[in-house]
């Protein structure tokens, strides 16, 4: 097995399927391991390139195998799928991973650090809690409407439910208990969200990249924390446009016969990061009358000839490019300079 130069791993929860091949692409071995036995096998194996799909557990395993001397590469699963030959099974998937990694133009995903993964987990938990809180608020509104009580939209009235219940004494006691239970659950979710936001702010205060991202106008702490966790140092992206394209903030192209046809934004990549950037752009546009500098002048000029939704996406694209530039060049935002 000394001639093995590339190993593809099809990841699983308990079992892992390995496909090894030489520099000519010829299969040398196929093996099935448990997690522990795979680590023991690769620990004694000579240093080579190990390729996996960027899915659950891949980043942890990439860090672990890197300490063993292997060069680890991660590929997005969507780029592996076209190389699956015949019927699908785990060994065929491992072989397809090797085939995809052998392409000279293949794009790879940088393994995340422990800090990046921890930040990403906090953000995912926060988004889940926010969805649960919104569901609880809507449920309370719906139950009250069943008894003819129509409250204003939002959670302002829900925060103070006692005056509403006191005003409508004809509500059945059983329904009052249900509403009080939902209100207690709403309070618990709000406390958890606030605690997570404080933890994110604490971690962001000690992150150099996060502090530099906060200098971008319109960018808040939540978005800066997400960008710091997902983008890292920006090294996997060749230029700022590549990073914006990975978030789906560039036009989708459908060109043929030498005729270029640009459609709406592609909406590729992480929709949560894209949504946060668009929200930051809208917040900047709401305060446009107080903004100064080339960026504000560019937004005003664009608003004169395009719809505000189009301008918001264009500004979100610009913010993504700024974030990449600050990460790669280790600088802060300068109000007098308009990024390309």
Tens-place pLDDT, residues 227-248: 888 887 777 788 888 888 888 8
Mean pLDDT of the chain: 87
What are the CA-CA distances from residue 307 to residues 100, 263, 303, 310, 314 (Å)?
41, 15, 7, 5, 11
Q: Is the pLDDT of residue 187 over 80?
A: yes
| Residues sharing a CB contact under 8 Å with residue 46, sequence separation 6 or more, in sequence order | 2, 4
Q: Identify the weakest region by mean pLDDT among 50-54, 127-131, 195-199, 293-297.
A: 293-297
**Could you report the per-residue pLDDT of 130-175, keeping only the tens digit for each?**
999 999 999 999 888 888 888 888 787 888 888 888 887 788 888 8
Q: What's the whole-model pTM score? A: 0.80
**Could you report the per-residue pLDDT of 194-205, keeping only the tens digit for each?**
999 999 888 888
Q: Give the pLDDT band of residue 336 (cuts 50, 70, 90).
A: low
What per-residue confidence (pLDDT) applies to 337? Answer: 55
**Could you report the per-residue pLDDT of 107-134, keeping only the tens digit for each?**
888 888 888 888 888 999 999 999 999 9
Share of the chain above pLDDT 70, in %: 98
Place of tokens 């990403």: 120
Among the listed residues 295, 294, 290, the one whose alpha carbon sits nearest the alpha carbon of residue 318: 295
What per-residue confidence (pLDDT) applies to 98? Answer: 92
Q: Is the dihedral of CA 304, 309, 312, 318 positive or negative?
A: negative
């Amino acid at each position: 097995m000394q001639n093995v130069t590339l190993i593809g791993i099809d990841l699983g929860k308990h079992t892992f399927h390995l496909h090894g091949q030489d520099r000519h692409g010829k299969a040398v071995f196929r093996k099935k391991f448990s997690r522990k036995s795979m680590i023991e096998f690769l620990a004694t194996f000579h240093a080579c390139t190990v390729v996996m799909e960027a899915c659950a557990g891949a980043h942890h395993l990439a860090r672990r195998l890197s300490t063993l001397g292997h060069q680890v590469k991660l590929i997005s699963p969507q780029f592996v799928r076209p190389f699956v030959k015949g019927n699908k099974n785990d060994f065929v998937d491992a072989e397809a991973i090797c085939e995809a990694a052998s392409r000279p133009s293949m794009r790879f995903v940088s393994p995340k650090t422990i800090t990046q993964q921890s930040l990403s987990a906090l953000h995912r938990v926060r988004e889940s809690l926010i969805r649960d809180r919104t569901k609880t608020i809507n449920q309370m509104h719906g139950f009250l409407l069943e008894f003819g009580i129509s409250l204003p939209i939002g959670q302002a009235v829900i925060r103070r439910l006692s005056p509403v219940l006191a005003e409508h004494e004809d509500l059945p006691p059983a329904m009052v208990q249900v509403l009080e239970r939902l209100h207690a659950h709403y309070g618990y979710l709000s406390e958890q969200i606030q605690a997570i936001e404080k933890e994110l702010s604490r971690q962001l205060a000690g992150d150099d990249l996060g502090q530099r991202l906060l200098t971008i106008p319109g960018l808040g702490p939540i978005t800066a924390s997400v960008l710091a966790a997902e983008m890292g140092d920006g090294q996997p992206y060749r230029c700022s446009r590549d990073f914006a394209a990975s978030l789906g903030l560039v036009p989708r192209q459908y060109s043929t016969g030498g005729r270029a046809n640009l459609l709406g934004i592609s909406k590729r990549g992480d929709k949560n990061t894209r949504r946060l950037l668009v929200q930051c752009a809208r917040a900047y546009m709401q305060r446009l009358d107080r903004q100064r500098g080339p960026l504000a002048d560019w937004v005003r000029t664009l608003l004169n000839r395009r719809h505000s939704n189009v301008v918001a996406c264009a500004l979100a694209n610009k913010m993504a490019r700024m974030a990449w530039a600050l990460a790669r060049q280790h600088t802060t935002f300068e109000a007098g300079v308009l990024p390309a």
